[in-house]
């Protein structure tokens, strides 16, 4: 079902500081900050090999990243996104196996313009999993 790791998302309290740290201390290639109001975050992409690390800062107080940072003010690892080729088939296989999809079960359009859905972290040992359909 899982074809590759698309990205690992990290919540950070201050994006400009995190961009500078990843670029200057770790020598990584980091994009400019991109506000994504429909997702409630500002994001910067760190490219490491063929994997992306997404640095996420809350854009709105209602952002899911804001509630994460309320629990972990320093920031931390937020989710892993895996690619699947058929997100509806993946959803049906997962729910048949007893895993819970967050939301109403209909994939939504993610930050990269593809269909995405999130799986409940309680069903995967505290790790929030995003699935993204990439063909």
The catalytic site residues sit at 130
Does 135 help bind a second copy (rule: CB under 8 A)?
no
Is residue 36 within the footprint of a second copy (CB under 8 A)?
no
101 lies in the site for a second copy, by CB under 8 A: no
| Residue 38 contacts a second copy per CB under 8 A | no
- Cα atoms in the Cβ-side hemisphere of radius 13 Å centred on 25: 6
CA distance 50 to 97: 31
Q: What is the bridge-based pairing of β-strands 129-133 and 76-84?
A: parallel
In contact, 102 and 118? CB cutoff 8 Å: yes
Measured between alpha carbons, how far is residue 85 from residues 57, 61, 89, 124, 131 in Å? 29, 34, 9, 21, 10
Q: Which CB, 2 or 38, lies closer to a second copy? A: 2
Q: Output 108 or 120, the one with its CB closest to a second copy.
A: 120
Give the one residue of 34, 51, 67, 106 binding a second copy; rule: CB under 8 A: 51
For the chain, the residue count is 135
Are the C-beta atoms of residues 56 and 64 closer than 8 Å to each other? no
Structural contact between residues 117 and 108, judged by C-beta atoms closer than 8 angstroms? yes
Q: Pick one of 4, 34, 38, 105: the residue that binds a second copy (CB under 8 A).
A: 4
Judged by CB under 8 A, does residue 2 bind a second copy? yes
122 binds a second copy (CB under 8 A): yes
Residues contributing to the site for a second copy (CB under 8 A) = 1-5, 8, 10-13, 17-18, 21, 24-28, 48-51, 53, 55, 72, 74-78, 80, 82-83, 93-94, 97-99, 121-127
């Amino acid at each position: 079902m899982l074809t590759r790791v698309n990205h690992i998302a990290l919540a950070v309290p201050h994006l400009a500081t995190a961009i500078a740290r990843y670029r200057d201390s770790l020598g990584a290639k980091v994009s400019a900050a991109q506000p994504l109001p429909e997702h409630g975050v500002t994001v910067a992409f760190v490219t490491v090999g063929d994997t992306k690390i997404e640095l996420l800062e809350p854009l709105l107080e209602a952002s899911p990243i804001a509630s994460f940072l309320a629990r972990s003010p320093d920031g931390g690892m937020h989710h892993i996104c895996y690619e699947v080729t058929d997100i509806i088939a993946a959803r049906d296989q997962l729910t048949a196996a007893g895993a819970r999809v967050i939301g109403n079960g209909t994939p939504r359009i993610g930050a990269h313009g593809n269909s995405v859905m999130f799986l409940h972290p309680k069903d995967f040992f505290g790790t929030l999993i995003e699935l993204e359909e990439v063909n």
